[in-house]
């Protein structure tokens, strides 16, 4: 397997060098740059599997770098690093579909683990996308789940409501899939934040992060007043996807 390529954006030279050395220990190719502008110029010329970027930088912040990077390569994975964590920046990172959000100083083991998870996710998407065609309909049917009016195709990352295809973001699809795989079971906001949104945080931060994602997902998968019937809020506990007998 070819070495995977990582672009690191960090304006502090000492921190950048330390992060480069940590990632290189995992046998990845790392290119470090000091600004978002440099990062975007390189991304326009070269392919990278993962972008690791500081959040707060003088002229172009991490969110802007991520947005510009995704315009060039929609499938690139992104890890956000920040020295001053807050709920608003975490929500923004999740809304922009960052794979994870890490507080500096980053422990080497945590960084390597997050890098490995992000690269693994990138590989899974790359491997799945080209393998589906019309001749594989029988194989794909095993990956299709029907929930009320929804048809969720895990294989193609596609959701339809009746005959209408729904436009879900990557995090919205992941959230729906996570709830579907645990259908009938209450899933806490902390678990959703940690396992789906990739942001370990306090219970209050988790509630803030998850509430907005649940609200947007409900609006997309089925119109009011039926939306609340499909994804139930369990007061003080979390959320669960309705069973078939509740949708009759």
d(CA 178, CA 158): 14
Q: Say if strands 144-147 and 77-82 run parallel, antiparallel, or are unpaired.
A: unpaired
Q: Quote the mean pLDDT of the chain.
A: 81
Nearest Cα neighbor of 198 from 232, 219, 175, 214 is 175
CB-CB contact of 215 with 227 (8 Å): no
Domains annotated for the chain, with CATH where assigned, are 5-128 (3.40.50.2300), 133-246 (1.10.10.10)
238: left (phi over 0), alpha (psi -120 to 50) or beta: left
Residue 89's φ and ψ, nearest 5 degrees, are -70, -35
Residue 99: count of CB within 10 angstroms of its CB: 25
What pLDDT, in 10s, does the model give residues 232-243? 898 888 999 888
- Confidence class of residue 72 from pLDDT cuts 50, 70 and 90? confident
The pTM of this model reads: 0.56
d(CA 78, CA 171): 13
What pLDDT, in 10s, does the model give residues 194-214? 878 777 678 888 888 899 889
């Amino acid at each position: 397997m070819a070495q995977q390529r990582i672009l690191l954006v960090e304006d502090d030279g000492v921190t950048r060098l330390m992060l480069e050395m940590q990632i290189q220990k995992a046998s990845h190719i790392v290119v470090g740059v000091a600004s978002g502008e440099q990062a975007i110029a390189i991304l326009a010329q070269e392919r990278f599997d993962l972008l690791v970027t500081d959040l707060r930088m003088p002229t172009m912040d991490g969110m802007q770098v991520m947005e510009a990077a995704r315009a060039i390569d929609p499938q690139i994975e992104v890890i956000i690093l920040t020295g001053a964590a807050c709920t608003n920046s975490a929500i923004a990172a999740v809304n922009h579909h960052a794979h994870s959000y890490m507080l500096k100083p980053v422990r080497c083991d945590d960084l390597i683990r997050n890098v490995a998870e992000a690269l693994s996710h990138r590989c899974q998407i790359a491997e799945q996308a080209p393998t589906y065609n019309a001749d594989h309909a029988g194989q794909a049917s095993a990956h299709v789940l029907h929930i009320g009016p929804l048809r969720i195709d895990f294989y193609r990352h596609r959701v339809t409501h009746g005959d209408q295809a729904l436009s879900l973001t990557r995090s919205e699809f992941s959230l729906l899939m996570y709830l579907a795989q645990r259908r009938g079971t209450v899933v806490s906001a902390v678990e959703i934040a940690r396992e789906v949104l990739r942001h370990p945080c306090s219970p209050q931060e988790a509630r803030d992060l998850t509430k907005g994602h649940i609200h947007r997902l409900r609006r997309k998968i089925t119109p009011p007043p039926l939306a609340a019937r499909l994804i139930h809020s369990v007061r003080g506990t979390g959320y669960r996807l309705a069973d078939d007998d509740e949708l009759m």
